[in-house]
Structure 1
Amino acid sequence: MKIFKMLFFAAITILTIAPASSARDFSWARDFNLQAQADPSGIRARLATRFNIGHLQVRTVLSNVENPADAYMVLRLGEMSGRPTDYIVERYRSGKKKGWGSLAKSLGIKPGSQEFHALKRGHDLSHISGAAHNTGNYVEVSYNNEEDGGKGKKKGKSKKNGK
């Protein structure tokens, strides 16, 4: 009976320490979420700029995860693994209780690798400014030049070809 108690307490200790150390590995996520809460449009713009995606895709990822740090991780893991974002979101949903390290490993990012350590160190958005993108989600481009009736300036047309 004494051995059973010792094994039981050892198991409880291991089960409580392991998640705490895993959470500590990605402790930057808490600060990231606080920044996102303070400036949601700025974080969306920085994610769009960093991952070279549209604001609509950023909003889609954000709406499919629990918090902005998770959105960053989904986008980053997609980039690192070469997998599409929707695939990463599905893997996130099915295995989020296992943690980011487990998800990264399942995507071929080896623990101890430079990529894995980069994930644990934190996000790489600090050098990207989102201020220029805060004015809206879309840029309207007009191709119709009203001064010439919308016909363009006829550049590139050769007189030799009779056009």
Structure 2
Amino acid sequence: MSGPTPDQRMPNARLLKSRVFAFAAAIAALTGTGNVAAQDFSFGWNPRSGDIWIDTQLDDVNRYGSRYRQPFVDEMVRYYGAPRELVSTLLVERNWAPGDVYYACAIAQILGRPCRYVVDIWERDHGQGWGNVARQLGIKPGSAEFHRLKRGFVPTYDRWARPIQIDEDLYRDYPDRARKIRSRDEAKRGNEKRHADNGRGNNGNGNNGNGKASRGKKAGDKGNNGNGKARGDH
């Protein structure tokens, strides 16, 4: 009895390959370890919050939420009052960016409204950017509510044990961190100044000193020659 022909083996090989890819995709979705590009999100990725620091943090929230799915979901549920089913649906089925999920729930918390309320508004008006959506909801740049929104990133990052560079607007809220940042910046400026001073000394002063010494030696030689001749004439 002969074995399967090459043509008979090929469908089985293709089926096995497709199953392997499907299994890998499922694992990535469950563990949150897959790399998600901005164009893969349902709304793309362009937060336009009106604040560069917030945009930077939301971009980092994307990286964290895509890689560490379960801790991200837990944070939204435990500290922002979002239903677990809603967060999971937004991330997996509706393909929201983690940064959008975080900001929607954070704004809702400031307003005292359910996260779903801001989610529905963002789905409708996401083309305007988060800055305009927040303004329509009464959270304007420079307001106390906007400041609370910025400040909220810090405890979340602390719970994630993730480093965060606080904005100058938050220095008064976190004076110990502000002192460390100022000390580090002063030390950096001091090092840069010392390097600049050393560079000027090597390139300029040292050469000028050598040049003056050389000119002085030549002048002395001429003087000795002149004096010697005068003594010889007498």
Deviation string 1:44-95 (CA, Å, 9 cap, x unpaired) is 1122121244422321343446201100111111111122322211210121
> Within 5 Å, which residues of 2 pair with 1:1-150?
22=50, 24-25=52-53, 26-62=55-91, 63-64=93-94, 66-120=96-150, 123=153, 124-129=155-160
Is the contact made by 2:50 and 2:141 (CA closer than 8 Å) also made in structure 1?
A: no
Q: Which amino acid aligns with 2:156?
A: L
The structure showing larger relative contact order (alpha-carbon pairs under 8 Å, at least 6 residues apart) is 1
Is the contact made by 1:33 and 1:69 (CA closer than 8 Å) also made in structure 2?
A: yes
Q: Which amino acid aligns with 2:97?
A: N
Change (3 A) 1:98 1:20: closer
Q: Which amino acid aligns with 1:104?
A: A
Change (3 A) 1:125 1:53: same
Unaligned runs of 5+ in 2: 1-46, 162-234
Unaligned runs of 5+ in 1: 1-18, 131-163
Change (3 A) 1:23 1:98: farther
Partner secondary structure for residue 90 of structure 1: helix
Change (3 A) 1:103 1:65: farther
Partner of 2:224: none
Aligned length: 112
- The alignment's TM-score, normalised by the length of structure 2, stands at 0.41
Bigger proportion of residues as helix = 2
